[in-house]
Structure 1
Amino acid sequence: MLAGPYYPRSFTILVIVAMGVLIVPLASGLINVVHVLQGVVDTQREFTRTSLAVTRDVRQIVESVSQLQRAAGQYHLLQDAEFGSALRESYDDLQTRMQALGGRLDDDRSRATLAALQARSRTLYGELRPGRFLDSDQFHALDPAFEALHDTSRTLLAQADAAVQHDLQQLEATVQATRRRLILLALALIPLTLLLAAVFSWMINRPVKQLKRSIQQLGKADLSPLPAISGPQDIVELGREIDWLRQRLQALEEQKLRFLRHVSHELKTPLASLREGVALLGDELAGTLNARQRSIVGIMDSGSRELQKRIEDLIRYGGMVRDATLPPATPQALDPVLDAVLARQRLALDAHHVRVEREFGTPTVHADRAQLETVLDNLLSNAVKFSPEGGRILVRSEPAPGAVVVWVCDEGPGIPEAERSRIFEPFVQGARQPASVVKGSGLGLSIVRESLIAAGGSVEVADLPPWSTCFRLTWPAPP
């Protein structure tokens, strides 16, 4: 159980790294979004500032052209030298505004129009320059030049407006492109984040699932070596602790089985002597017995038989746990097997006046004869013990897909739902025990379960109305 090369030493560090890696694409996406939006905002701010300045300057140029014409009229038509300074100021103001506008224009058409406006204004001012006065005819002869100057300024205004509209459309296109870019970024980040989340989820869940499988294996009493656990160092250490627990349980199980084996064999020797002595008394080899003595000998014989059965159950259970393999299975007819079992149970059946009913929809079972008799003997012994006086026991078989199902049912008090999951565990006995029967060892149903598992089948407590207690045995069909 070694930590994987791609795992950190601590499970906590793994979780922190996973969270950090998942935050990285989201944070980078957020930073990118802020950067892009800031660029859009800066572009919009620059556009607003430039467009407003261009529009203002062009409109002021149009106004300055009109102001230049008024100042020229006042100077030449009134023949007043005091208006010469106003004429010069109007011309200088127009030139200043055109120079300022020239630094803000981007399109070639507007620049060409502005250059034409500057050339025409200089040519016209050369005719209007203060220092001499023009008479009325000479002044009005310049009206076409003024009109051309006005037309050029209005053309410049129209071109400036068109340029502003063009820039606005470009800005809208930039906003739309930015929107698409952000959507694509989000669509790219979502699967990337989900992929990273899936990878780290797998890295986190993998050792947890391995631990879960190991714990489930121990829960099923499977003490075979556990699968290797890879992951952070602390998870690997926990896996080692679970494997230590498995080894400890295995050692305890071996000690328990060794104890049962020794106790069983130690009890068989004095029990054999006891049964031999009871048999000698029953045969009256030590003298004639009266009715009361015979009754006592019968009680001793019944008790010794019951004790022998429990010792044999201990030996059989220990052997099945150590070696769950069975002899080769062969087709077994249920009628003669059941007859042999009932012959051994005859005294108990007659004592309780219990009758056994059989319904064999499938007359044969693919099993080992001795194991089949052991299973039916334990279940029938259990059913007789819990059946009421004059009760019935049902033994029934029916076909199932790939198997044969055998039912053993009685009319006893039933098994509570809370006890059904534990009733097959060794040494576990139900709460509803008959008051007139000596308490059993609690190994009968465990032997039944181990026998069915070794044969590839299963056993469970099931409901089959109107019977109160039913065991459903599943024997696999022959291959």
Structure 2
Amino acid sequence: MQIRSLKQLVLISFLISLVPLIVLLLQSQRDFSQVSVITTDNTRLFVSVATDLQDLISASQDVQRLIKQYQVLNDPQLKDIADRSLDSFENKLDALCTRAEEFPACSGLRTAVPVLRDYHTFNDAQVVNAYLAKFEESIITLQRNVNRYVDQKVQEQQRFLTDMQARQGWSTGLLVVLSLIIILFSTQFIVKPVRKLQAIIQSIANSSQSVPAKSSSGPRELLAVEKDLYWLSERLRQLEKVRTALLRHASHELKTPLASIKEGCAILSDNLLGELNPAQYEVLQLLDNSTERLNLLVVKLLDYNALLQQAEPDLVPVNVLSVIRASADNHRLLLQQNEQDVEIKIFNTLTVAGDEELLRRIADNLISNAIAYGKKGNVIQIEGYRDEECVVIDFMNNGKPIPREARMEIFEPFKRGAEKRNDKVIGAGLGLSIVADCVRLLGGAISIEERASFDVCFQIKLPRT
């Protein structure tokens, strides 16, 4: 049967999971019916046997009394009454012995009744008393047989109830396990396409080139969502290609005229085309600064685009000290120009599980940020140490502190602080966002911490393994 909708799948799964419960209810109903029948039959049997036994005991007492009275009075009328009493006793004996199973004492009583019918021929009172004593002993034996029979029936009923309870317990446990198996099996029909959707969403989020194959069957609602996700994935892939091509072409087209403008500014600045007056030289400096700023914007934008395309870094052991030193050496000229210095306090054995290129981008941007916004003549201190679960790297410098209200959005793209840079270049607002994305790709976290000896401290925590 082809399941066409999610509603149909849930309904069928629910009905299938109810089958063991229905079986359990039917079995319980059947067992309760048997218990009811057995209880009713035994109750009726116990009442009838007790009544017949009581009547039989009363009749036996009448027989014994009348026979003794006849032996004393020898009255014909008493003989008739005694004979009728024996007939009544015999009838009650037959009713009791045939209603239930044949009791052992019944045969003795049936043998004793014909002997007692000859009571009128007994001339010796001792003989009569002996027969009556034996008769009474048989009655007591019959009473014991009836009590034993009743106890046996009660024990059989108890054993039946015990067996039924055990059977109900095993059946309940078995059917509960069966219901769970059916529920788990049924939920797979829902969980499997949902996991497929999760895999598609995950591949889209990771910008993966390969997307799981389309499903050929399943609920139409989930198939429709899957179809939309495939369309979204294809659309995003097309947009990514357009974005990459646009940035690549834009950078190429921008760098050529920028190089020409910069070369022209250099020629004019060197007075190769004639001496410039102060006003012209000032305009030339403005053009040169604008060219530098535009070039910086292009480089940062390309760098940010390359970072977004690196979704899964290759994590290998990286020596933190060597990466920080290499980054500081690249900024040596700027440090000398701003009369700044970098002090590195990191052990040579400190390693982190990361990507060397991403860690280099983090160091470059944070050192460049400290140079741009730090005080001239101050020391940029970089400390690295092991924590219980991670490696901590602190980039600290003195300068204007970052306001608390700006700390939440300072790591977002195209967001920058209101402080002026030392190099008078207007930044693109991408440096710290690149740092945050690099830290995220390495599985770490970045925050702004308070330090007593420094105005600004960017703290990075990266996993040790």
Paired residue for 2:49, among 45, 54, 76? 54
Q: Distance in 2 between matches of 1:278 and 1:395?
A: 38
1:100 and 1:140 map into 2 onto residues whose CA distance is 31
The whole-number CA distance in structure 2 between the counterparts of 1:144 and 1:86 is: 21
1:402 Cα deviation after fit: 13
Structure scoring higher RCO (CA < 8 A, sep ≥ 6) equals: 1
- Partners of 2:57 and 2:139 within 8 A in 1: yes
Match of 1:120 among 112, 115, 119: 112
C-alpha deviation, 1:376, in angstroms: 4.1
* 2:265 alignment counterpart: 278
Question: 2:173 matched to 1:183?
Answer: no
Q: Match for residue 131 of structure 1?
A: none
Amino acid at match of 1:177: D
Greater mean alpha carbon deviation, residues 284-293 or residues 195-204: 195-204
Q: Which runs of structure 2 are paired with 1:399-410 in the superposition (5 Å)?
A: 407-410=394-397
Q: Percent identity?
A: 23
Matching residue of 2:148:
162
User: In structure 2, how many angstroms separate the alpha carbons of the residues matched to 1:181 and 1:422?
Assistant: 70
SS of equivalent to 1:287: coil
More displaced stretch, 65-74 vs 370-379: 370-379
Residue matched to 1:470: 458
Contact 2:20 2:175 in 1 (8 A): yes
Deviation track 1:314-344 (CA, whole Å, cap 9, x = no partner) reads 3444456568899x99996754552232325
Task: State the distance in 1 between where 2:58 and 2:286 align.
Answer: 137
Change in CA separation of 1:51 and 1:266 when aligned onto 2, cut-off 3 Å: same
Q: Kindly indicate whether the alpha-carbon contact (under 8 Å) linking 2:345 and 2:383 is maintained by their aligned counterparts in 1.
A: yes
1:55–1:161 Cα contact (<8 Å) kept? no
Measure, in 1, the Cα distance between the counterparts of 2:96 and 2:357.
Answer: 113
Decide which of 458, 461, 469 is 2:446's aligned counterpart: 461
**2:40 corresponds to 1:26:** no
Letter in 2 for 1:53: S
Contact 1:410 1:470 in 2 (8 A): no
Structure 2 SS opposite 1:103: helix
Q: Is the 8 A contact 1:77 1:135 kept in 2?
A: no
Alignment of 1:272-351 (within 5 A): 272-318=259-305, 334-335=324-325, 337-344=327-334, 350=338
Give per-residue Cα distances to partners, 1:398-453, cap 9 Å, x unaligned.
679999876544455448699769936xxx13364436776533443565577789
Equivalent residues in 2 for 1:92-107, closer than 5 Å: 92-106=87-101
Question: In structure 2, do the counterparts of structure 1 residues 45 and 113 end up closer, same or farther at CA, with 3 Å as the change threshold?
Answer: same
Aligned length: 452
Distance, in Å, in 2 between the alignment partners of 1:449 and 1:284 is 45
Q: SS at 2:345's partner residue?
A: strand
2:36 is aligned with 1:44:
no
Report what 1:174 is aligned to: 160
CA shift for structure 1 position 307: 0.8
Larger displacement relative to structure 2 (287-296 or 39-48): 287-296
Amino acid at match of 2:211: L
- Contact 1:462–1:471 at 8 Å: present in 2 too? yes
Tell me how far apart the structure 2 counterparts of residues 369 and 160 of structure 1 sit (CA, whole Å): 98
Contact 1:333–1:365, Cα closer than 8 Å, also in 2: no
> Closer, same or farther in 2 for the Cα pair 1:446/1:458, shift >3 Å?
farther
> CA, structure 1 residues 113+322, in 2 after alignment: closer, same or farther (shift >3 Å)?
closer
Give the secondary-structure state (helix, strand or coil) at the position aligned to 1:394: strand
The answer to whether residue 236 in structure 2 is matched with residue 246 in structure 1 is no
Q: Deviations over 1:104-163 (max 9, x none)?
A: 222x5x1x42133123213432x26xxxxx488378754433333222222111211122
2:411 is the alignment partner of 1:423? yes
**Which whole-Å CA distance do the structure 1 matches of 2:115 and 2:32 have between them?**
49
Name the TM-score, length of structure 2 as normaliser: 0.78
* CA distances 1:333-381 after superposition (whole Å, capped 9, x unpaired): 754552232325655xx2xx65543334339999999987765443333
- What displacement does 1:282 show? 0.9
1:153 equivalenced with 2:143 (yes/no): no
CA contact (8 A) 2:379 2:397 kept: yes
Q: Do the aligned partners of 1:407 and 1:472 also contact (CA within 8 Å) in 2?
A: yes
Q: Which runs of 5+ in 2 are unaligned?
A: none
Relative to the length of structure 1, the TM-score reads: 0.76
Number of the residue aligned with 2:248: 261
Q: In structure 1, what is the Cα distance between the partners aligned to 2:14 and 2:410?
A: 43
> What is the alpha-carbon root mean square deviation over aligned residues?
4.4
Any gaps of 5 or more consecutive residues in structure 1? 129-133
Please say if residues 355 and 442 of structure 2, whose CA atoms lie closer than 8 Å, have aligned partners that are also in contact: no
